[in-house]
Amino acid sequence: MNKDLIAIFEYLEREKGIKREIVLAAIQESLEAAAMKSVHGASNVTVKINPKTGDIDVYSEKEIVDQVEVPAQEISIEHAREIDPDAELGQFIDILVTPKDFGRIAAQKARSVIAQKLRSAERDVIYEEYRHRINEIVSGTVKRFVRGANLLVDLGKVEAILPMRNYPKTEKWHVGDKVLALLCDVEDTENGGAQVVLSRSDPEFIRQLFDREVPEIHDGQIVIEKIVRDAGYRSKLAVRSNDPKIDPVGACVGMRGMRVKNVVRELNNEKIDIIPFSQDPVELLQNALAPIEIRKINVSEDDRVISIVVDDDQFATVVGKRHSNQKLNGELIGYTLEVHGMTDYNLSQVQEQSAYLSSLSEGHLDQPIEEIEGVNQMMIDQLKEHGFEKFKDLLMTTPQLLSKVPGISLESAEKIIDSVKKQGKASLD
């Protein structure tokens, strides 16, 4: 067992970073429990291990007496003085009582206790070294697959787990591959140890990658206010600058796009959108969609919903594959985002107006447009010249069609129709 112990000491010190003193204390404690059973009737049994040779000695404390009545706990004065010439009656002395087969028996009995102690010591080392490194990027090598597609990653002193749920489905790994990941947690395991947990899908991984690539972020001149991510497909970063002389988007992109390209390369060509941050959710949304123009927008603060209308040829781009772009933009602004194409929106408006028309009295529908509140005479004349004589003529059209009348913008057209509707609602009330 001596050589085995020395080998254990050296391995745990070298590979696991566990000090030899910790291992010795754990083994001594476990062997003392085994020794109490092996040395029958003995009291105050202690085990001493030579840290250099691995030799194990078992000692039992015995009382020095004139006449021995309990051999397991007493020793005669004569025998005591053979060990220590200065021994006196009534004193206690440690006597070597190592059983012949203790090396084998003790090792067998203590194996489970030793393993538990070592796991605990290893856990303490892991906690001490890695708990303060949470949200740091670490590198390692894929050692093997465990329980399906979970990766066991060798970080050097410890092995970390990269669960399947913590890396994008688009990534394929093989044993021996180098892997860069975010250290996201150090958690206890069922067997009393500790486990380092990694992630490549956490949005914080994106932040740390940019922190490495963009000195202005590392120095605090540029702040990443928010990150939303559909891991493996697309990420969006809202950034602002603490220095008016620094363009936050340009700094993150880098000269000829090199900074962002380095991040994209590490993420296996995941798309990254870098957006100027704004506290105003509508402005932030416009920044996120630029250069696409929002044709119409409606904000419901009560329901936390923003509904927008875009041109039909831009609809697919705004929504994105699997609705990911729409979902990410909603997360970015903190609202549920609804997107409509212009054709669908106009159709819904016509349907709404048809239902609305059926609820109005004939008298209101036949009111002359001169009675519209807040519309100047010049606009009235232009409307009449183009065939809009009564309220019902305006309610049966759309703002887009009405804006084709010279002198009437789309905004004015919407206000005119809204005014007619309000007057209609007032008449119903």
Residue ranges per structural domain of the chain: 2-128, 134-201, 203-276, 278-352, 360-428
Q: Which range has the top average pLDDT, 113-117, 153-157, 159-163, 186-190?
A: 159-163
Based on its alpha-carbon atoms, the radius of gyration of the chain, rounded to whole angstroms, reads: 39
Q: Can you say how many angstroms the Cα of residue 321 is from the centroid of all Cα atoms in its chain?
A: 23
Q: Which CATH architecture has domain 360-428?
A: Orthogonal Bundle (1.10)
Query: CATH number of the domain at 278-352, please?
Result: 3.30.300.20
| pLDDT of 161 higher than 60 | yes
pLDDT at residue 61 in the model = 86
pLDDT at residue 420 in the model = 82
Closest CA to 66 of 78, 82, 49, 58: 78
pLDDT at residue 419 in the model = 86
Q: Which tens digits make up the pLDDT trace of 299-321?
A: 999 999 999 999 999 999 999 98
Angle subtended by helix axes 377-385 and 410-428, to nearest 10 = 100
Q: Do domains 203-276 and 278-352 have the same CATH topology?
A: yes
Q: Which tens digits make up the pLDDT trace of 26-46?
A: 777 777 777 777 676 667 788
Q: Which CATH architecture has domain 203-276?
A: 2-Layer Sandwich (3.30)
Q: Can you tell me the distance from the alpha carbon of 277 to that of 287, in angstroms, rounded to the nearest whole number?
A: 8
Q: Can you tell me the distance from the alpha carbon of 269 to that of 234, in angstroms, rounded to the nearest whole number?
A: 9
Q: Please, what is the Cα angle at 119 between 115 and 125, to 5 degrees? A: 145
The CATH H-level (homologous superfamily) assignment of domain 2-128 is NusA, N-terminal domain (3.30.1480.10)
* Mean pLDDT of all residues in 282-296: 94
- As to burial, measured by CB atoms within 10 angstroms (0-12 exposed, 13-18 middle, 19+ buried), residue 225 is middle
How many percent of the chain have pLDDT more than 90?
43
| pLDDT of 194 higher than 80 | no
| pLDDT of 248 higher than 90 | yes
Q: What topology is assigned to 134-201 in CATH? A: OB fold (Dihydrolipoamide Acetyltransferase, E2P) (2.40.50)
Task: Classify strands 178-188 and 305-310 as parallel, antiparallel or unpaired.
Answer: unpaired
